[in-house]
Each structure stands twice: as C-alpha cells, then as structure tokens.
Amino acid sequence: MEYNEREFWAKQKSREKEDLDPRVLERHARYIRTFVEEGDFALDFGPGEGYMLEAFSNAEMLTLIDIVDVHVDKIQYIAIDVLKNTKSIEFVLLEDDNLVKLPFPNKYFNVAVACEVLLHIKPVNIVLLMKELARVANKVVIIAFYNPDIAFDKGSFNPDHFQYCFNYNYPRICNKNGLDMDNIKLKDNQIFFTYKEEKK
C-alpha cells in the first residue's frame, strides 16, 4: 500500500502530553524558543497536538499549518493557555493535493518550524518541502530523526514502533540545494538545526 500522508495522519489517535517524555518536550521547546524572537511572525508546520506552542510565546503572529485538522480543538485549548501575548493565531489546513506548496508569499515569516515532522514526509517531497519552507521564511528551525548508521531515504526503519518514517541526510540535502545549514546539534538520534536560503 502506498503511503498517503493525509489519509495516514487522519486516522492517527491523539497522544496525551502525559504519555510523552517531558525532558524531550522541554529540549525541543528550548531549542525552538531560541529562534522565535519577540514580535516575530512565525509558522509551525505540522503542529500535531500543539505541545510545542509554548515555544512560540514571543511571536506576535503564529500560523499553524497542517494537512489534517484532527487536533484543532486541542490546539485551540492549549493556545488560550500558553499564547496570551500572541496577537494573532491562525490555523491553515492544506487541502490541496500538493502538500509542498505553501500559500504564503516569499519571506512572509521571520521563522518557520518543523518539529518531528520531516521524518514523515515522503522522499519524493522532502527537498521540495525544505526549499518551500525556506522560501516563505527568513529562517527555518528543524528537529528531526537522524541516524547516519541507518540507510538514508528508506521508510519504516523500525516498523514495530514507527510506520512511514524516513531517515534523511539533512546536511547533504542542504548542501546540494542551496540551503545554508547552521546551529547543528545531535542528541539521541535526533538532529536540531536551522537553515535558510543561501545568498545569491
């Protein structure tokens, strides 16, 4: 069966925050918070249940974009609690079949974030999406699975625990596609980094 991102994620059950490792959540939030400055227009690509929203508390405007709307109620509830100073919060549902074309003008956002999202993007779309995030934002913040000991671009590297997960060589992708990679950290089979379009 071919992997269809929208169909797969529409069927997934919501995870409760208590079921997730609080140390990992805090590590992710701390890294994201470093790059979301006061007054920023920020984009959260694939916000899931909204557990990273607190990392965007400095943003003046936050746009959440996803391919399914199954978590919107939970996101709204969390946003009321943790985004008291954010003037505008918008949820955008990508309804078009083209999941890698974002409906925003060039450099509309100061920062775009994809936390634990890119590992679920099909290989045919990964470069297109990374370039598209760099098109709409001055800086992109990524947290993703990364293990150089596992074959890159192969799906379901651990089918007992993960379905439709892909291990990508992010340094190679950035290097080959004019994306300037920075702020790189490796921790527990994860890569944390930022990137932006190289100056021409």
| Domain assignments of the chain as residue spans, ordered by start | 24-197
- Mean pLDDT across 111-118: 97
- Mean pLDDT across 175-179: 97
Q: Which CATH superfamily is domain 24-197 in?
A: Vaccinia Virus protein VP39 (3.40.50.150)
pLDDT for 154: 64
- Mean pLDDT across 150-154: 73
The larger pLDDT score, comparing residue 16 to residue 30, is at 30
Q: Which of 91, 137, 90 has its CA nearest to residue 113?
A: 137
- Distance between CA atoms of 125 and 1, rounded to whole angstroms? 18
Residue 95 has pLDDT above 90, yes or no: no
DSSP letter for 132, please.
Answer: H
